[in-house]
Chains A and B, each alone.
Chain A
Amino acid sequence: MRALIESHRVIVCAGSGGVGKTTIAAALGVAAAKMGKRVLVLTIDPARRLATALGIANHANDVRVPGQKYRGQLWAGTIDPARIFADYIERHARDRKTVERLLANSLYQQLSTTLSGSQEFTSLAKLHDAATRGDYDLVILDTPPAVHAVDFLRAPERLNAVFDTAIVSLFMGRTTGLGLVATAWKQGVKLYLAALTRLTGSAFVATLSDFFSAIDAIAPDIRQTNLLARKLLLDPSAAFVLISSFDLAKIQEGEAFQDELVRAGYHLRKVIVNRAWPRWTQGDAASQAAVRKSLLARGERKLADLQEALADYYLARRSLHTGFAELLILPEMDDQIVGLGAVEELAARLVAEA
């Protein structure tokens, strides 16, 4: 882990929901700061997970994490998709009226806050900004909550699709090409809009049309940001770290993500299996037998049976096959990770176990 932190400018922590991405991202940040780095940990933090873990308040700007005594500096930044989108519009819209029209559009309101890849986009925008500004040696991104790890990779595509020139042109009534092609295009558009109106009603089509004509002004900038962010992530100085947990479904999903990352040309440097097992289960068969014996000696039969069942279970989990190349297995921490002290302990373990 030490070498990984040393040799990269960007670390992306990916993984499906509930595996502990945010906590690992924070711990990597602490480890890097201890190594003397100026490091920023970025997260979309709807449940204030990172904020709670690091003891900071949600804040519009990057915050220097209080209570640190490191060689380097640990900073934390929270990403607010709605605000970042609004900033984009303010900066790139032609006039005040366009800004207001867009902010008031119901499709825009959903786009800036919900499912459509906007969280991923704003994460990438902020990541690119922080990584190229020169204020930090290392930026660590905790990817937004998603059902599947791969959703993060696909999000820019989905968002690009919204800002596709073809759609914008369609709703703005522009034509592309010349002569027959343009006529065919116009004809297609007419049919298409008629069908859409038939299916959804004219009020909806009007909302759509309004939305697409209003975003026309910011579309090039969105595409450009997506392009730059992608370039940054494809660079060998950007490391992907996949966080997984030790059950069959998560392992299968992790392996699929690994394949997809490698195919797309990204650099997956480490797979962390988080909270693999409680520490007490780490002893060998003989020491587990000793635990059982001690429990039985004091008449705790029920607890002895529980201990045996759990020890067997974690042993079976340990033998699950994984196709991961660079694997790091972290046992469960004894306590829930709250506060900088707990994150420091995890960081120490991350660096030690590599």
Chain B
Amino acid sequence: MPLKTNSPKASDPRPTLEGRKVHRIVFVTGKGGVGKSAVAAATALQLARAGKTVLLVELGSRSFYGPLLGLPVGDDTVRWTSRIGISRWDVESSLREYMSHYLVFKAAADWLLNYTVMKALIAAAPSLAELAILGKLTGPMRHDWYRREVDVVVVDAYSTGQFMALMRSPRGLSRSVTSGQMHRHAASITAVLSEPAICEYRLVTLAEEMPTAEACEMAAALRAETGIAPRLYINRVVDLPAQLPAWPAGDPAAPFIQHMTRVAARQRESLRALQALGDQSDGPVRQLPFIAVTDAQRLLQALADALDTDPGAAR
């Protein structure tokens, strides 16, 4: 088997970051349908405006940004703006890239990965899939040989339950496989995910009962797993006065006023619930405006404007 010999030192993952060119990671998550992908893209814009070079990464079986922005998003990074590239990572390509380093000949990596059994394993074995994605993401922090020439990677991550499963997988694996390469990989990934100088978690919700309840549970779960409190964002907040006027019932504007009164109550309730999380949230609860445009580019720019008003958000 043509394997490259690595000195123990080179393959030994160290949680320290000295001497390594590393980048920050911003995870964006939340319940499905809350606008997580839009907030992730706007986060990329926000960071780019602050002068950073950004890689916006999406996970999952289909590209969200490709059709939305009219870009051929895939394995290779495509330019969105001068400072932002977008790519979609899948398990197989992540693992292939990783293994290619350890195997001298690319042909050998291909052979291994094309092997029916390996394909099936990747498709099915749960830990491998998650480790592959997280391993690729945290590669530059854990290996001298791994370079990624960006300042920040913004991850449009899975929604609530799946995201927590992703976050827990390396710790679970390092506990059950107590020695060897896999153990060291898993342990070093866990260390990176818990490093506040590297990782930031943005948790998006809507001012509705279910998403807010899920966000509260998830903020606590994230804090417990990583030790890092997430930043909380209420998305699609309608700018309404503190007190809506009383309106005569038969008037043409009455249904509108009634609806807005309900919206205002929901928004207050959601804000109150999230604020009650206290130090389980990183800083104050942020509110992002409801943006009444259907054009994707305009929507994302407007969202980035809103993120820009948040002092200290673009570290």
Q: Which residues of A contact B (CB under 8 A)?
A: 16-19, 46-47, 49, 106-107, 109-111, 113-117, 145, 147-148, 150-151, 154, 157-159, 161-162, 164, 166-167, 170, 188, 191-192, 194-195, 198-204, 207-208, 245, 247-249, 252-253, 256, 278-280, 287, 290-291, 293-295, 298, 300, 302-303, 306-307, 309-310, 312-313, 316-317, 320, 334-336, 338
Determine which of B1, B99, B119, B161 lies in contact with A46 in the assembled complex, contact meaning CB atoms within 8 Å. B161
In the bound complex, CA of A353 to CA of B215 (Å) = 34
* Set of chain A residues within 8 Å of B103, measured between Cβ atoms: 195
Q: Could you show 19 A-B contacts with beta carbons less than 8 Å apart?
A: A16-B32, A18-B159, A107-B125, A107-B126, A113-B165, A114-B165, A147-B162, A148-B62, A158-B124, A198-B181, A201-B179, A202-B180, A204-B180, A207-B176, A279-B259, A302-B241, A306-B239, A312-B292, A317-B294
Given contacts A191-B1, A195-B3, contact A148 B61 (CB under 8 A): yes
| Min distance, Cβ B314 to any Cβ of chain A, angstroms | 25
Please give me the residue from chain A that is nearest to B244 by CB atom: A303
The interface centre, meaning the residue of B126, B159, B209 with most chain A CB atoms within 10 A of its CB, is B126
* Set of chain B residues within 8 Å of A287, measured between Cβ atoms: 252
* Set of chain A residues within 8 Å of B125, measured between Cβ atoms: 107, 111, 116, 162, 208
Determine which of A17, A295, A298 lies in contact with B159 in the assembled complex, contact meaning CB atoms within 8 Å. A17
Cross-chain contact A249 with B179 (CB below 8 angstroms): no
B118 within 8 A of A: yes
| Min distance, Cβ A277 to any Cβ of chain B, angstroms | 11
B190 within 8 A of A: no
Given contacts A114-B126, A117-B124, contact A334 B262 (CB under 8 A): yes
Cross-chain contact A203 with B292 (CB below 8 angstroms): no
B282 within 8 A of A: no
| Min distance, Cβ A216 to any Cβ of chain B, angstroms | 15
In the bound complex, CA of A320 to CA of B67 (Å) = 15
Cross-chain contact A201 with B121 (CB below 8 angstroms): no
In the bound complex, CA of A164 to CA of B61 (Å) = 22
Query: Could you say which interface size class chain B belongs to?
Result: 35 or more
Cross-chain contact B121 with A167 (CB below 8 angstroms): yes
Cross-chain contact B183 with A201 (CB below 8 angstroms): yes
B81 within 8 A of A: no
| Min distance, Cβ A283 to any Cβ of chain B, angstroms | 8
Interface residues of B in 202-257 (CB under 8 A from A): 208-211, 213-214, 238-241, 244-245, 251-253, 255-257
* Set of chain B residues within 8 Å of A192, measured between Cβ atoms: 112, 115, 117-118
B197 within 8 A of A: no
Please give me the residue from chain B that is nearest to A105 by CB atom: B176
* Set of chain B residues within 8 Å of A317, measured between Cβ atoms: 294
* Set of chain A residues within 8 Å of B276, measured between Cβ atoms: none
* Set of chain A residues within 8 Å of B180, measured between Cβ atoms: 200-204
**Interface residues as binary, B255-293 with A (CB distance below 8 Å gives 1, 0 otherwise):** 111111010001000000000000000000000000011
Say which one of B16-24, B43-51, B166-174, B302-310 lies at the interface with A: B166-174
Given contacts A147-B60, A148-B62, A290-B252, contact A166 B294 (CB under 8 A): no
Determine which of B1, B62, B255 lies in contact with A150 in the assembled complex, contact meaning CB atoms within 8 Å. B62
| Min distance, Cβ A156 to any Cβ of chain B, angstroms | 11
In the bound complex, CA of A171 to CA of B209 (Å) = 48
| Min distance, Cβ B66 to any Cβ of chain A, angstroms | 9
In the bound complex, CA of A90 to CA of B112 (Å) = 35
Given contacts A147-B158, A201-B177, contact A194 B120 (CB under 8 A): no
B296 within 8 A of A: yes
In the bound complex, CA of A279 to CA of B118 (Å) = 53
| Min distance, Cβ B73 to any Cβ of chain A, angstroms | 13
Interface residues of B in 1-19 (CB under 8 A from A): 1, 3
In the bound complex, CA of A162 to CA of B117 (Å) = 9
Cross-chain contact B208 with A278 (CB below 8 angstroms): no
Cross-chain contact A198 with B253 (CB below 8 angstroms): no
| Min distance, Cβ A142 to any Cβ of chain B, angstroms | 13
In the bound complex, CA of A256 to CA of B60 (Å) = 15
B127 within 8 A of A: yes
Given contacts A115-B129, A291-B252, contact A166 B117 (CB under 8 A): yes
* Set of chain B residues within 8 Å of A49, measured between Cβ atoms: 210
In the bound complex, CA of A215 to CA of B129 (Å) = 19
| Min distance, Cβ B43 to any Cβ of chain A, angstroms | 17
| Min distance, Cβ A169 to any Cβ of chain B, angstroms | 9
* Set of chain A residues within 8 Å of B182, measured between Cβ atoms: 200-201, 203-204
* Set of chain A residues within 8 Å of B176, measured between Cβ atoms: 106, 109, 207
